[in-house]
Amino acid sequence: MMEKIKDFIEAAGWPRLIIGLFLLVLFITAPFVEVNIFTSISDVIVRFGMWGILVLAMVPMVQGGCGLNFGLPLGIIAGLLGAVTSVELQLTGIGGFLSAVAIAVPFGIGLGLLYGVLLNRVKGDEMTIALYVGFSSVAAMSMAWLKLPYKSPDMIWAYGGSGLRTTISVEKFWYHSLNDFWTIQIGEHFYFPTGMILFFALMCLLVWAFFHTKTGTAMTAAGSNPEYARASGVNVNKMRIISVVLSTVLGAVGIIVYEQSFGFIQLYLGPFWMAFPAVAGILLGGASVHKATIMNVIVGTFLFQGILTMTPSVINNIIQTDMSETIRIIVSNGLILYALTRTITIKSAKVKA
């Protein structure tokens, strides 16, 4: 029994356990400070669904040896193009959602290819360059949003008409199209967005399946030991580009899922900071710069979004002041910081008699 517990602790890692316990404490405290526990749990689940695929997008590049994808905004931009085009074409419901995805994917592939080629030239410094490539693309795209030939009155500036608005509502189109698919609603406070969670599960399944194909295993090999992989006949550069394209496409899909739940498409500088919660999510789930699993995604996203949702509401009620913004800054960046400064301990192999 003790052995089993010890194994679990080692597998999970102390940091995750501490944060998990902290989250539990927040959940327990909630009712005592007049925070409705069912609303909170629903909030956490919804946010988990919103961010899940964006965090999942981190996995291919990490496995492929390209580090954490701070350039996620590129994928998000592809997704935005899909979403905006779908609104322009006045598509609604699940059909609208799926068409947004369908349009976004080719953009994601195109942008991913360019991005991948760049990253192949800068091996070793991928993360910092990805960060700035992400920022510059958002700014470059902001210039484009002003000039692209979209005409739908739901999206254009009202008076003096050229250029897209900063925030576009999808309420009339595919708002909650996933969330409301087979929803489970218990009482006034508990809400389970079945559709979105199912879609996330589907994406996880696809990624898991991919990594069990020949290409997938080759990619993992290229990521963990490029020299050995090259010697075994794997085209490392090609694998890296595929990993980048996959990450970018997942980012594109992820942002559309996010938007259908959130209700708005955020253009211009909207995607600017979006890589960070995704990076935080996966690092918190136990991934490192070189290795990430789907379990990391699920655990990490849940913990991160859980803490981010619960901490402000509980603390606000305790000290009777609205400090949510500041608390969010401290908590999310503190968690990322913590994950970045973790020293990686090499666990010795256990020999079973």
Partner 1 sequence: MNNIKSQENKNKVQRFFINNAVPLLFILFAVLAIPMSDLSVEYLIAEMITRLARYSFLVLALLIPVIAGMGMNFGIVLGAMAGQIGLIFVMDWNVMGIPAFFLAIIISMPLAIFLGWMAGIALNHAKGREMVTSYILGFFINGVYQLIVLYSMGSIIPISNSQIVLPRGYGIRNAIDLVNLRKSVDRLIPLEINGIEIPVMTFILVAILCVFIIWFRKTKLGQDMRAVGQNMEVARNAGIPVERTRILAIVISTVLACIGQIIFLQNIGTMNTYNSHEQIGMFSIAALLVGGASVAKASIKNAFVGIILFHIMFVVAPRAGKTLMGEAQIGEYFRVFVSYAIIAIALALHAWRKNKEAEFARRSLRVDADAAGTSE
Footprint of partner 1 (CB under 8 A)? 70, 118, 121-125, 127-129, 131-133, 135-136, 139-140, 142-143, 146-147, 163, 268-269, 276, 289, 321, 323, 325-327, 329-330, 333-334, 336-337, 340-343
**In the complex with partner 1, which residue's Cβ is closer, 156 or 327?**
327
AA identity, residue 220 = T
Residue 313 CB, nearest approach to partner 1 (Å) = 17
Reported in sequence order, the residue ranges of the chain that DSSP labels E, i.e. its strands, are 167-169, 184-186, 190-192, 264-266
Asked whether 77 and 85 are in contact (CB, 8 A), the reply is no
Residue 126 CB, nearest approach to partner 1 (Å) = 8
**In the complex with partner 1, which residue's Cβ is closer, 247 or 332?**
332
**Distance from the first to the final alpha carbon of the chain:** 17
**In the complex with partner 1, which residue's Cβ is closer, 136 or 232?**
136
Tokens coding 260? 């259908």
Residue 75 CB, nearest approach to partner 1 (Å) = 17
Asked whether 297 and 204 are in contact (CB, 8 A), the reply is yes
Give the angle 286-291-294 at the CA atoms, nearest 5°.
65
Residue 146 CB, nearest approach to partner 1 (Å) = 6
Residue 34 CB, nearest approach to partner 1 (Å) = 21
- Cα 331 to chain centroid distance, Å, stands at 17
**In the complex with partner 1, which residue's Cβ is closer, 118 or 198?**
118
Residue 120 CB, nearest approach to partner 1 (Å) = 10
AA identity, residue 276 = F
Q: In 3D, which of 35, 38, 124, 79 has the Cα closest to residue 311? A: 35
Sign of CA dihedral 341, 54, 292, 192: positive
Asked whether 207 and 293 are in contact (CB, 8 A), the reply is no
**In the complex with partner 1, which residue's Cβ is closer, 194 or 324?**
324
**In the complex with partner 1, which residue's Cβ is closer, 166 or 225?**
166
